Chains A and B, each alone.
Chain A
């Protein structure tokens, strides 16, 4: 009888561990986070992957997205389950830094009007404490007006 409870407890532990790691990058979690973060902006696109899938990230994860001139955009940091929320930066087509969450009290969204059409870059800086965090999910969404 006692053995059975032990087995169940161990199984639950394994399962919950697996589930917790997957849940953070689940469609459902990302969808809800996207809707909340974009607010009145219209959905453009989203991207999400577990931190553990970035084998060579070395503490930085980068993504690019296209913008059209004079269009209004919102970029939202949707990273999930980090011990410390990654620093989130946005660069313009010439790689000029436009936004850093570190300078904006950890703000998770950045709104802007693109001055010219081209590719913008998002960069996430992952804190050392999280580099081996298998449950963390790197995610962002883009909206437009």
Chain B
């Protein structure tokens, strides 16, 4: 309640800021107020007012309304220190989930109906963890449908992504950019759709990093990565595409970073997904170490571990 009142006070002051800066005329009510303040303790009020205004900028960003606000970047003593390599000054960049899906697509990942998570389930995810994980799942499904010209499915997945995003206080990103209507208007134009997915990726990446919500970054990437691997490994058993298989093995590069990022967030709710990812990592390491073929036991075990993890994620509510 107190926070709510503070937010309203901050909003009021932010709205008044331009008037305040342009030096008020003597008849302006706030002028009288300030005059009274001046007769008391000028320095105290100046400092307090400055601190309050600065604080208001920060509060607004913390609500996730990043499009037109300033963000306060606290000194980096938090979990943003690179978990895997402490000599790094930034957290190690994970690839965009859409890029991962694109890489698999270019390597030969083709559309098979019924493999993706149904967009109708978007309403069932209630917890923040489930929403963040399935934001990732739906982002991959969106990319997979778009790359394979499944237009109606792509629109449904874009809406599912929006629903997950709104549940994670990311609504401003969709409102300010009109992404969903623009996506619908451009159906059939793959370049435009790719551009709009890229916009989605940019908006969410900068919004989440700017508001230091690395937990959502980590969980949504975990969901997206798992879905990409699930779709790819499912298809590889039927279509033994070696290029695609090499791309699966390339994921040995990304997976340890994802695990390290999730560990650094120290979220108990993420433990099942984290355990699942560690299991997948052990299987993937074995596949790579033994140069295992697609028909090998190692590969079958990898595929099973990914399927189990994916089931766990889409059933998290």
Contact = CB atoms under 8 A, between A and B. Distances in A.
Given A22-B71, A54-B89, A7 B202 contact: no
B50 A15 contact: yes
Contacts, number: 164
Given A4-B38, A42-B198, A43-B202, A117 B209 contact: no
A84 interface: no
Interface in A1-50: 1, 3-8, 10-12, 14-15, 18-19, 22-23, 25-28, 30-31, 34-35, 42-50
Nearest to B74: A53
A102 to B, nearest CB: 20
A139 to B, nearest CB: 10
A32 to B, nearest CB: 10
Contacts of A19: 54, 57, 70
A122 B202 CA distance: 20
Given A4-B35, A64-B88, A46 B202 contact: yes
Given A12-B21, A63-B89, A46 B205 contact: yes
Q: Chain B interface mostly helix, strand, loop or mixed?
A: helix
A63 B207 contact: no
A44 B66 contact: no
B93 A30 contact: no
Interface in B159-212: 194-195, 198-199, 201-203, 205-207, 209-210
Contacts of A69: 250
Given A18-B50, A62-B89, A64-B93, A5 B250 contact: no
A68 interface: yes
Nearest to B87: A62
B54 A7 contact: no
A131 to B, nearest CB: 14
A19 B201 CA distance: 27
Given A4-B35, A7-B42, A63 B88 contact: yes
B34 A4 contact: yes
A57 B96 CA distance: 27
Contact of A66 (B45, B90, B95): B95
Interface of B: 20-21, 23-24, 26, 31, 34-35, 37-38, 42, 45-47, 49-50, 53-54, 57, 61, 66-76, 80, 82, 85, 87-96, 98-99, 102-103, 194-195, 198-199, 201-203, 205-207, 209-210, 247, 250, 253-254, 257
Closest 10 CB pairs of A and B: A27-B66, A63-B90, A27-B210, A65-B93, A14-B50, A43-B202, A53-B76, A22-B70, A42-B198, A45-B93
Given A27-B61, A28-B66, 19 more contacts: A4-B34, A10-B46, A15-B21, A15-B53, A18-B54, A22-B57, A25-B73, A26-B210, A28-B68, A42-B198, A45-B94, A46-B206, A47-B91, A62-B87, A63-B89, A64-B88, A65-B92, A68-B247, A119-B92
